Amino acid sequence: MKKFKWQDIAFMIGGFIFALSLVAILNDVQMSVVTTLSTVLVLTVFLICYASMKFWLAFTSTILTAAAWYWLFFMSL
């Protein structure tokens, strides 16, 4: 069994919490393009960083959060 770094597990849990909390508001809020675009860009950088550090758990959970923010971005256009 692969031993995961504690940071990877912490980032994974946080990513899932962010994704779940974001899903609750997806249909109720109209977000601005600037807010969604900046969040999408930062989350994309996070994904690249997680992959480069081989934090695959954090990478997986952040994909969910990033996908939700990408959806919000395209809905705000």
The predicted-structure confidence for 5-37, as pLDDT tens digits, reads as follows 888 888 889 888 887 777 666 666 677 788 888
pLDDT of residue 6: 87
Torsion of CA 23, 25, 27, 29, to 10 degrees: -140
Integer Cα distance of 26 and 71 in angstroms: 9
Integer Cα distance of 20 and 74 in angstroms: 19
What are the structure tokens assigned to 77, written together? 């256009």
The predicted-structure confidence for 42-76, as pLDDT tens digits, reads as follows 899 999 999 999 999 999 999 998 998 898 889 88
Q: What is the pTM of this model?
A: 0.76
Identify the CA nearest to 38 among candidates 60, 4, 69, 1.
69
CA atoms within 13 A of residue 59's CA, in its CB half-sphere: 11
